[in-house]
Homo-oligomer: A and B are copies of this chain.
Amino acid sequence: MQEALAMCNRPGLLSFGLGLPATEHFPADEFARACAETLRVNARALQYQKPLEELKSQIVSIMALRGVACGARNVFITSGAQQALHLLVALLCDHRRQIITEDLSYPGFHQIVGFYQPEVLTVSSDLKTGMNVDEVERHLNRGIRPAFIYTVPDGHNPLGASLSEEKRERLFQLTQQYGVPLIEEDPYGLLYYSEYPSRPIRSYTDEYVFYVGSFSKILAPSIRVGWIIAPEPAMPLLSILKESYDIDTATYSQHVVSCMLGSGFLTEHLRRLRSEYSRRREAMLSSLSDYFPADTEWYRPQCGVYVWARLRHGLDTSSLLKTAISEHNVAFIPGAVFSISRTSAEKGSMRLNFSYPSVANIKEGMQRLGACVSSAST
């Protein structure tokens, strides 16, 4: 990711690569106010402290927006969703034990898994309905008892898919029936574009489900605050692990986030983000129609910040990326990057982010990228 960030500094480059939030929509004034207020009222905000109970309660309210009932006793504050994932893998995963994940999945998760080296059992995914739960069931039926199952049910990274209600219900049943932990990562769940957003699987049960949330996409990534909603018995072990990782999530950042949330601005801020990102999504989808070859396949995401586009059979997006950058000054992430098994059939796909670029840049960049794809297709 650091390399990708460096690449984005190329003059004039339009990037659909990383899943960055829109810089111009960060609540910078709210941040500034919260920073000043925090230091004005509380010099202890600079000291070592216990995780903030008030922030935990506020996270409980955010979870209610997602249809999840939980208590502050279930909230574990982390230095962003990435650390939450790392802690959960460390908590649940013994060396060489099996895990089940979609083959197409978040590369930050691959990095963690690469360190613990479990046996990775993959399942496929559908662009519209998400994870293939039949394949999960087949693994479990043949006696596999994985350390955990991992998925991003809403605004899937990289596919943009949302797990269907029927599959959520079945995945929930499977975790309970076989007593298998589920890591449900949900950084995009509050960025939905349909009238009736899905509820996370954590809303079905508080057993076996480890939910991961984050302020990175809804406030700002640079503050690094996220959370786990975990079954209560897991809390003491998570605390010990977390203390060994970095003692605690920056107390100062916890205060600032809590102070921001206390002003009640989040509801309106989320409404604005959804409205803006929805416009950007439309710009990207219409650009795919307008500028890409007619045989390109994609699905309209209901949530999140990504569109997955499949190009004509035979095109390799990894080599296409070089031409896209050097000749058209536009970037994306090739589909193969997201295959944890490195054997994906998605070599002709690309992940396109629509939250970072403006509508104008989306149109301009997609026109460039469309030209690049078209000339490679002929």
- Which A residues form the contact surface with B (CB < 8 A)? 1-2, 5-6, 18, 20-21, 23-24, 26, 28, 31-32, 35-36, 39-40, 43-51, 79-80, 82-83, 86, 90, 95, 108, 111-112, 114-115, 220-224, 239-241, 243-253, 255
Contact = CB atoms under 8 A, between A and B. Distances in A.
B46 A246 contact: no
Number of copies: 2
14 contacts: A1-B247, A2-B248, A28-B39, A31-B39, A32-B39, A47-B220, A82-B243, A83-B245, A95-B95, A108-B247, A115-B244, A221-B247, A224-B248, A246-B246
Given A26-B43, A82-B244, 10 more contacts: A23-B43, A35-B36, A36-B36, A45-B222, A79-B246, A95-B95, A111-B243, A222-B250, A224-B247, A224-B253
B247 A47 contact: no
Contacts of A95: 95
Nearest to A113: B244
B86 A115 contact: no
Contacts of A248: 2, 224
Given A18-B48, A220-B47, A243 B36 contact: no
A246 to B, nearest CB: 4
Nearest to A43: B28
Contacts of A24: 43
Contact of A86 (B20, B23, B44, B245): B245
A252 B48 contact: no
A246 B86 contact: yes
A82 B241 CA distance: 12
Contacts of A50: 2, 5-6
Contacts of A253: 224, 250, 252-253
A31 B47 CA distance: 13
Nearest to A51: B2
Given A31-B39, A35-B39, A47-B20, A243 B1 contact: yes
B20 A48 contact: yes
A25 to B, nearest CB: 10
Nearest to A219: B46
Contacts of A21: 47
A223 B44 CA distance: 12
Contacts of A18: 48
A283 B139 CA distance: 66
Contacts of A51: 2
